A = this chain, B = another copy of it.
Amino acid sequence: MKKRQTVTLKHIAEALNLSISTVSRSLKNHKDISKETIALVHAKAKELNYFPNIFAQGFRKHRTHLIGVVVPNLTHYYSSTILEAILEEAEKKGYHVIITGSKDSYDKQIELLNTMLHLGVDGILLSLTRDTYNVDKIIKYIEQVPLILFDKVSRKVPCTQVIIDDEQAAFNAVKHLIDTGRKRIAIFKETNDSFNSLKRYEGYLRALKTNNLPFDESLVYSSKYIPLEQGRKLAETVLKNPQRPDAVFCITDNCAVGAMQVFKKNNIKIPEEIAIVGFSNSLASRIVNPNLTTVDQPGSKVGKTAINYLIDEIDNPKENYMDYKTVEIKTNLIVRESSIKND
């Protein structure tokens, strides 16, 4: 019981009266080996159900075909779609993925990167914790192993980064509100902006400017984090604003949902009196009533792109920082009921 069959090169060699080295080379179609021998070995390997011992290989070649992933959280729908894509794509390319969660703790994040390194992963996919202000340690890792950032990134880290076009997405969302006649457009964002929040804010500003709408600071609502509850709180402060906005662009779906709850409870008609736009195309956005207009973030594309860049980098080590680039994945505005006057 619990006996693992373990057929090695040696078994094949003995069965075929060949040397271990010839068998090894045959299996990788080395040119020194005749076609007949190669065919023979492949056949026998299949017959015996041979699989290379990954540890002997990794031990020998310093190549593990393991990829480490460090993310702050994996219960968010967006995170999990990214992860799913990473897994799928990795498998296609013959890699395996070790996922870990930093629980949004910087120290844990560093610890996990350390673990990854000593685990011998071929490369690392990292989504930064919220409190990654100092990136010195992260940079140390870049010098030791191919690493690319995705989703939550920082421009201070010199490596390839895969993100969505936050600025443009926000611009489009706000432009949509303007196009549908809104004049006083508020924004719900983070107080000390994360990279994403900042970019979305910039998009908001650009949309106002491009369309000659005045910037009104009283329409900028911020809170430290932006979960559902904060959306509620911000919405309540909105109610106190003497000059109430006629639209709110929320930086996340969750806070948009929270805001909607408050507005609805106060009998403010959505979208007639106030239009709402979120960001994420979360499940909730499709469930809430009225359905939420939101920005769709193609998580699977982000994941797929990230791992492909990583594998490329593993295969072709970069020589200097100049070779790194930032890849922006295009998003789509999904217009639903929360932003357009009913039929």
Contact = CB atoms under 8 A, between A and B. Distances in A.
A191 interface: no
A74 interface: yes
Which of A54, A59, A75 has the largest number of chain B CB atoms within 10 A? A75
A55 interface: yes
A246 B29 CA distance: 70
A259 interface: no
Chain A contact-residue range equals 35 or more
Nearest to A103: B88
Contact of A87 (B77, B79, B100, B317): B100
B98 A97 contact: yes
Contacts of A132: none
A87 B64 CA distance: 21
A14 interface: no
A56 B2 CA distance: 22
Given A97-B98, A284-B287, A289-B289, A144 B4 contact: yes
Interface in A47-63: 51, 53-56, 58-59
Nearest to A320: B1
Interface in A245-303: 257, 264, 283-284, 287-289
A91 interface: yes
Interface stretch (A115-123, A212-220, A304-312): A115-123
A132 to B, nearest CB: 20
B84 A74 contact: yes
Nearest to A108: B91
Given A4-B145, A74-B83, A87-B100, 13 more contacts: A4-B144, A55-B58, A55-B59, A55-B120, A74-B74, A74-B80, A75-B77, A84-B101, A96-B115, A97-B100, A257-B287, A283-B284, A287-B287
User: Which 9 residue pairs of A and B lie closest in terms of their CB atoms, listed nearest first?
Assistant: A55-B59, A51-B118, A55-B58, A75-B80, A59-B59, A55-B55, A284-B287, A80-B80, A4-B144
22 contacts: A1-B317, A2-B146, A2-B317, A3-B144, A4-B117, A4-B145, A53-B120, A54-B119, A55-B120, A56-B59, A74-B74, A74-B80, A74-B87, A75-B84, A83-B99, A96-B98, A96-B100, A97-B98, A257-B287, A264-B289, A283-B283, A284-B287
